[in-house]
Structure 1
Amino acid sequence: MTVLSDGSRRHGPNSWYANVVSLLGLALTHGSLSTIVVNVVVIGTWNDKANKFQFTPAETADFIDINCFAVIFLGVGILLQACVSTCCLICSRGVKTWSNSLLAIAKARSYDEKLNTESYTSPVLPNREIQSSMLDAAPQVQFVRRLVWCFSGLFMAWSLGYGIYIAVKGYDMDNVVAWSQDVQQYWQFYGGTWMDYGRLLKSTPYWLGIMIQTILQSFITFALHCVELLFKISRDEASWRCLQSTGSEIDPPILSNIQWQTMMMMTFKAVVQWAFGYAFTADETFNIALLPAIALMGLFICLMAATEYMVKKRPRGTLPATYGAFDRVLELVDEWDHKRLFWGDKGDLGDGTRLAGTAGRRLADLKPGAVYGCLDNRKAITPPETSQD
C-alpha cells in the first residue's frame, strides 16, 4: 500500500533508517528461508570388515535436516518487518489514502493546501500520437536499467568462468552425479564445489553460514525490488492510459492490481530466489552449483529484456504519459467528482485553444493539428471531512 501524508519524505516510516531496517529484515527473511531445509545426501558408508566403501541404495540415500538457527533468524527478519509495519500504523495520523492507485494518490495530494492555487490554464499540451518513453520522461530509471545489466553480465561472467574452471579442474560432487540418476540430484550437484569453513576458522560458528547467505542474497533482493519499481510504474501508466478509452476508476478494487506486470514480477521474484537458493548455499559449508547459476543468468537476461521493453516503449495515443508523476496528473485532471474518469476533448476555450481534460463520460478524441491546453481546477476540490482521521 502507498502511504501519503503531509511531509511524507520526513515521515518516520519513510526515513532512511526505517528503510535500512526493512531491507535488513527482508534480507534475513530470504537468506534464512534458503537455509532452513538442508538436503543431506548419503553416498555410502565405509565398511571396516570389507575394507571398502559401500554405496547406499538410491531409495534411502536422501533425507533433510532442519537448521534451527535459520528458523531463529527467519523469526528475527519477520519481526523487523513487523516493527516497521507497526510503526507505519502508529504514525499514520493524517494519512489521506492507503490506496496504491495513481489516481487515488493524486486526488489525495490535491487536498494539500499548498496546491490549492487559483485556477489557471496550463501551457499548451503537445498534441501528438506517440508519447515519450519512460527513459525520456524519468531519467532516474537509468539506475535500475544499469543494475539489471550489471547482474546479467555478472552471472554471464560467473557461469562462463566457473564452467571453464570445472572443465579443467573437475568438481567435488562428480561422484554424487555419477552415482545418482535423479534429475534433482543432477540439477543440484552437477558442477558443484564446496568449501568447509574449517579451512579458515578453527571453530566454525553456526550462524556464519546464515550471515554469508544473507549478505549474498541481499544483493539479489535489492535488485529485484528496484526492478519492481519499473513494473509498478509500467502498471500505473497502463492504468492511466485507460482514461482515453475505457476510463479508469479513481479508487479501483484490489483485484485490479492483478495485471501482467504484477504477475510477471511475482513469478520472477519467486523463481530467481528459488534458483539462487540452489546456486549459492551457505549452511554448514559454502556450496556452489553450476546449473542453477546458469539458470540465474538466463532469468536476469529475460528480466533485462523486459526492463528494456518497459523503459523504451513509447505509448501510443494523445493522452500525455505521466509515469507516476503526481504533479503531471494534477495538471491533466480537472474533474475529480466521478467514480470513473475519461480524458479527451472538452471543447473550444474561445481563444483558438481547445480544452483537454477529464469527465465522467466518454469524451471525443483530440483533433489532429489543434492546439490544446488544460485547466487546473484544484482549488475547487474540497477534501472529505474524514480525510484527517
Structure 2
Amino acid sequence: MAVQKQHDDSRYTRNACVLGLVVSWFVGIGSLLGGGICLYTEIRDGTATHIVMSHTWREILPLLLNVVVTLLNDSMGYIHSCSLRWALQREGLLEFNSNLRLLRASKYSRPNGMVANAVYLIGIVLAYGSTSLTFLSLNPDLAELLDRGYETDDTHGVHINAIALLTLGAGLFFQATITNWALVTTSIPTWSSNPLDVVRACTHDETDGHRIEPRIGRCMMGIHQAKEDARSQRPSPKQRPMITAHYRVLRIIVLLWVSPILSAAWGGGIQAYITKGHRNGVLGRSWSLLPIFTGITDSTCSISQCTDGTSVLNVGWSAEHGTAGTVGAVFLITAFQSIVTVSLHCAELIVNLSRDEAIYRELIGPKGTNGHYNSVWAAFTSWQTLFLFALKAGVHWIFGLAINLQFQLGVNMYPPQIFYFTAFALVTAVFGLYLSLRRPKGYLPAAYGHIQTMADIIDEWSDSGSMFWGEKYPGIPHRGVSGYTGTSTERLKDPDERHWYGGQKQHDPSHLRHRKSAVTVSSVAATTVPVNTTNVNYLTTTGISPAPVYYYPPVAVPPPPPPQQPFQPMYSYPQWTQQAPPAAPSQYPSVSSLNSAYSGYSTYSNQSTQPFLSGYR
C-alpha cells in the first residue's frame, strides 16, 4: 500500500496558479472587448482613443505591461507544465521533472498534444508581441524631421492601438483556454515542483500511471550513467555539468547565442544604412536608453539629416489613417519578436533543471531537504527564477524600444536601442551557458531532475521533516566488499573517496564475511556440484565487477549404493529361461540422487549464495 505523506503544501501552489488563470481570463476577455470597442469607435468617428500622459510614462507603460503578461504566462504555464508531466508519467515517457512543454507533446493527452502546443505558442507570441504596440505615441520633432504632418492633440499622451489590444486578448485567451482544458482533464497527484516530491509520487502512489521501480546497485551512479549497467564506483567531489546530461541543453545554448549575433548584425546594418544617407534615416548623437528627439539639427552634417537625439530609420508599414492601418506593422514586429519569445521559453528548461538539481542537492546540505516545500515561495526566493523573470520582461521591453510603431509614422528602428537589446540578449546567453557548464559540488551523484536516477539513489523516504544523504555502510575495503549510500532522516557521514559504493541495504553481504567456502566462478564451472544459475545471471545482468565471488555451502556427495546380489537364474514352466544380467554398478551417484541430496541444503544455499558486491577478490 502506498505511503501517504503527512503534509501537502502543494495546494497553495495550485490555488495560486488557478488564481492566475482566473485573472488571465479576465484580462484576455477584457482586452478583446476593449480592442473591439476601440476599433469600432475609431471606424465610426475616425479618431483613435487617446490618453494623456508624460513622455516618460509612454516608455514605462509597456514595461509594466510586460511584467503583467509575464506573471500571467508563468502562472498558466505552470499548470500546463504539471499536466504535461503527469500525462507523460502515465504513458511511461517521463524522464525529467522539468520538460520543454511547448516542444514536447503527449501522445494521448490532447491539451498537451502537438496542435494544442502550437496554439499555445502562438498565444505566447501574440501576448508578448502586442505589449510594445498597444500604446502608440507621436513625437512632433521626429515628425518634422521626417516631413510628416500631424495634429497638436496627437502629440500629447498615447493612442490605444485597437489591433494590438485585440492580439493581446487573443494571446491570453488561447493560453487560458488550453490551460483550463488541461486543468480539468488531467489528474495531478502533486502540484509541487520539488523533484523529490515528484519522484515519491512516481514510486509510491498507486495511480494509473507508469510506476517507477528503483534499480539495485546504483547508489553512486548519476544521470550520466543512467543507461549503463550497475557497478560500484568511487565518489567524486564534483559532478559533471548539465550540458552533458540533457541532449536539449546544447541546442538551447546555440539558440540563445544566435539572438545576440543576429541582433548585432541587425544594429550594424541599420546604422550603416543611416550613415549612407537614406532619406528616411536620421543620424543622431544620443545613446540614451530611451529614444529622445529634441528637434535640434546639425547643418554641417555629412548626410541629409543629423540631430543631437537618437538615430532612427523610418520603415513605414503604416497607413496614415490611425490604428486601422497598423495591422501589417503589428504582425511584422510580432514575427520578429517571436524569435526572442521562443528562445526565452527554451531558457526556462535550463533554469528549471538547475533549480531541480539545487533542490535535490539539499540532501547533503546542513539542514537537509525541506519537508514542507512550497513551490510558490521557492520560486520567489530562487535567484535563478527571479533573474529569468527579469530577463523575460526586460528583453521584450528593450526589443519594443529597438523597433516600435509610432502613431501615423509607422515602424521605426533605433540602432542604439538595438545594440542595447544585443547586450540584454548576450546576458541571457551567458546566463544560460553559465548554468549549463556549472559543476555541482559534493559527493551526491548529479540527477538534474532525472526521475529514475533519483529513485535509484533514494532508498528511504520521510513522511515529514527533512532527509539527508550519505554513507550507510562503509563496506570492507581490504577485502574488496563495496559499501552503499542512501537517505535517512538523520544526518549521515560523507562517503569516503577511497571506498567503492554500489550496493543496497537489503543486499548487505556482511553476514557472509566469515564464510571460508569461497569459490570463484571459474572453479564452480569445473566442478560437478550444481551451480545456482539464478545468482550467476543476477550478477551478469547487473554488471557488478570486478570478478564477483560466490559462496556455496560444502555439499557432501552421497555414498554409492550397495553392490548388487550375485546372479540368480529365473525359472519358468515348461523350460528354463535366463534374463540378461544387470549393468555394472556405477561408481558415481546418479543426477537424481545428487539433486535430492543437494535439495536438503536449499534453504541454506539461498542465503549463502547472495553475491558479494564488486571489488572482492
Do residues 369 (structure 1) and 477 (structure 2) align?
A: no
Taking the TM superposition and a 5 Å limit, the aligned residue runs for 1:1-389 are 1=78, 2-3=82-83, 4-5=85-86, 6-7=90-91, 9-10=106-107, 11-43=109-141, 61-93=155-187, 95-111=188-204, 114-115=210-211, 117=213, 120-122=216-218, 123=230, 124-169=232-277, 172=280, 174=282, 184-186=290-292, 190-197=310-317, 205-245=325-365, 246-249=367-370, 252-253=373-374, 254-257=376-379, 258-282=381-405, 285-339=410-464, 340-348=466-474, 352-373=481-502, 375=504
Q: 1:168 to 1:328 in 2, by over 3 A?
A: same
Q: For the aligned residues, what is the CA RMSD?
A: 3.3
- 8 Å contact 1:187–1:292 — kept in the other structure? no
Distance in 2 of aligned mates of 1:302 and 1:225: 15
Match of 2:222 in 1: none
Q: 1:148 to 1:187 in 2, by over 3 A?
A: farther
Give secondary structure in 2 for the equivalent of 1:86.
helix
- 8 Å contact 1:197–1:286 — kept in the other structure? yes
Q: Read off the aligned partner of 2:119 and give its amino acid letter.
A: V
1:175-203 deviation digits (Å, cap 9, x = unpaired): 9x69x99974428972211222379xxxx
Give secondary structure in 1 for the equivalent of 2:449.
coil
User: Per-residue deviation at 1:359?
Assistant: 1.1
User: Per-residue deviation at 1:282?
Assistant: 4.6
Distance in 1 of aligned mates of 2:505 and 2:169: 50
Distance in 1 of aligned mates of 2:149 and 2:175: 49
- 8 Å contact 1:132–1:321 — kept in the other structure? yes
1:335-377 deviation digits (Å, cap 9, x = unpaired): 1234322111112467722111111121111112111125399
Give secondary structure in 1 for the equivalent of 2:157.
strand
User: Per-residue deviation at 1:119?
Assistant: 6.9
Q: Read off the aligned partner of 2:201 and give its amino acid letter.
A: A
Distance in 1 of aligned mates of 2:390 and 2:212: 42
Q: 1:375 to 1:318 in 2, by over 3 A?
A: same
- 8 Å contact 1:341–1:360 — kept in the other structure? yes
Distance in 2 of aligned mates of 1:22 and 1:331: 35
1:202-224 deviation digits (Å, cap 9, x = unpaired): xx854222222221211111000
- 8 Å contact 1:31–1:214 — kept in the other structure? yes
- 8 Å contact 1:104–1:251 — kept in the other structure? no
Distance in 1 of aligned mates of 2:142 and 2:248: 56
Q: 1:60 to 1:36 in 2, by over 3 A?
A: closer
Q: Read off the aligned partner of 1:357 and give its amino acid letter.
A: G
Distance in 2 of aligned mates of 1:346 and 1:375: 9
Aligned length: 364
Distance in 1 of aligned mates of 2:505 and 2:335: 49
Give secondary structure in 1 for the equivalent of 2:159.
strand
- 8 Å contact 2:467–2:490 — kept in the other structure? yes
TM-score by length of 2: 0.54
Give secondary structure in 2 for the equivalent of 1:373.
coil
User: Per-residue deviation at 1:12?
Assistant: 2.2
- 8 Å contact 1:125–1:374 — kept in the other structure? no
Q: Read off the aligned partner of 1:121 and give its amino acid letter.
A: G
Distance in 1 of aligned mates of 2:131 and 2:314: 20
List runs of 5+ in structure 1 lacking aligned partners: 47-51, 378-389
Distance in 1 of aligned mates of 2:433 and 2:238: 18
Match of 1:380 in 2: none
Distance in 2 of aligned mates of 1:226 and 1:54: 44
Give secondary structure in 1 for the equivalent of 2:292.
helix
- 8 Å contact 2:125–2:334 — kept in the other structure? yes
Q: 1:99 to 1:300 in 2, by over 3 A?
A: same
Q: Read off the aligned partner of 1:133 and give its amino acid letter.
A: P
User: Per-residue deviation at 1:70?
Assistant: 1.4
Distance in 2 of aligned mates of 1:44 and 1:151: 29
Q: 1:303 to 1:185 in 2, by over 3 A?
A: closer
Identity %: 24
Distance in 1 of aligned mates of 2:432 and 2:293: 28
TM-score by length of 1: 0.83
- 8 Å contact 2:130–2:330 — kept in the other structure? yes
- 8 Å contact 1:119–1:375 — kept in the other structure? no
Distance in 2 of aligned mates of 1:70 and 1:55: 22
1:141-171 deviation digits (Å, cap 9, x = unpaired): 1100100111121112122222222222257
Give secondary structure in 2 for the equivalent of 1:174.
strand
Match of 2:224 in 1: none
Q: 1:17 to 1:349 in 2, by over 3 A?
A: farther
Give secondary structure in 1 for the equivalent of 2:412.
strand
Q: 1:125 to 1:333 in 2, by over 3 A?
A: farther
Distance in 2 of aligned mates of 1:187 and 1:338: 64
Q: Read off the aligned partner of 1:342 and give its amino acid letter.
A: F
User: Per-residue deviation at 1:14?
Assistant: 1.9
List runs of 5+ in structure 2 lacking aligned partners: 1-77, 95-105, 219-229, 295-308, 507-617
Q: Read off the aligned partner of 1:264 and give its amino acid letter.
A: F
Give secondary structure in 1 for the equivalent of 2:470.
strand
Distance in 1 of aligned mates of 2:247 and 2:171: 33
User: Per-residue deviation at 1:225?
Assistant: 0.7
Distance in 2 of aligned mates of 1:99 and 1:225: 21
**Higher relative contact order at CA 8 Å, sep ≥6: structure 1 or structure 2?**
1
Q: Read off the aligned partner of 2:384 and give its amino acid letter.
A: Q
Q: Read off the aligned partner of 2:360 and give its amino acid letter.
A: W
Distance in 1 of aligned mates of 2:371 and 2:110: 27
- 8 Å contact 1:331–1:374 — kept in the other structure? no
Q: 1:60 to 1:137 in 2, by over 3 A?
A: closer
Give secondary structure in 2 for the equivalent of 1:40.
coil
